[in-house]
A and B are shown apart, each in its own frame.
Chain A
Amino acid sequence: MFEARLTQSAILKKVLDAIKDLLTEATFECTDSGIQVQAMDNAHVSLVSMNLRSDGFDKYRCDRNLSMGMSIAVMSKILKCATTNDTVTMRAVDNPDTIEFMFDTPGKDVQAQYEMKLINMDQEHLGIPETVYSCVVKMPSQEFARIVRDLSQFGENITIACTKEGIKFSAAGDTGTANVKLAQTADSGESDSVTIEMQESVKLSFSCRYLNFFIKATPLCEQVQLSLSNDVPLVCEFNIGEIGHIKYYLAPKIED
């Protein structure tokens, strides 16, 4: 028996919004410690790694480890049927063919129940090596989203350059160039602060298309963490409230 309950479906709705444009399907690994998802986009350019800890749920029970293949589009449709204040309960039997989503509206005697067929999926798990990154930048997630949106108008790629002076985002195309530079702020730990930990300067280019998928996670938290090293994938990390995190890995572009 698997059962996981959140008194506010808002967080799960935001999680689905953060992955639905990037992933068509994903395997949800459920264990006693929580729910883990690792999945690549169809083009195998990026990887999503998500963790929802069992102690972050209002009720969590997982008697046997389950590996459930789910259609992200269908799951997203189902979560759209919940209002943000609804309590959401996910439930599955051992060796399930389906997963059940139940929504209870507080103060009302209404329960909505949706059952989704699970998908048989090939188990493809990638090993992500432990990496010490040359630059780790924490900045307001809304600021990052705005930069990605703004610069995407000017080119297909965004070049991120990080030095002691700050982090610079650039795009260039036929119509012109765009540059946004952020310096480290005096105070750290605030929601609007910019902090840069740098061992070595980096300069890498990434596809705007994918960065625009990642910023769909912006409503999840106020700060985003970008980890960069030359010639390795970017890690773009958002906390999922107090319950877990979502990390997007994006392979860099290289000169032709």
Chain B
Amino acid sequence: MAQRSITSFFKKI
């Protein structure tokens, strides 16, 4: 299985 990055869910503000 591949690991997603947290930054693909939460964007920089």
Q: A interface vs B, CB < 8 Å?
A: 40, 44-47, 124-129, 157, 205, 207, 232-233, 249-256
Contacts and interface: CB of A to CB of B under 8 A. Distances in A.
B13 A249 contact: no
B8 A251 contact: yes
B6 A126 contact: yes
Nearest to A232: B9
Interface residues of B, number: 13
A254 B1 contact: yes
Given A125-B13, A126-B12, A127-B13, A157 B1 contact: yes
A126 B11 contact: yes
B13 to A, nearest CB: 4
A19 to B, nearest CB: 15
B13 A44 contact: no
B2 A44 contact: no
B10 A254 contact: no
A205 B11 contact: no
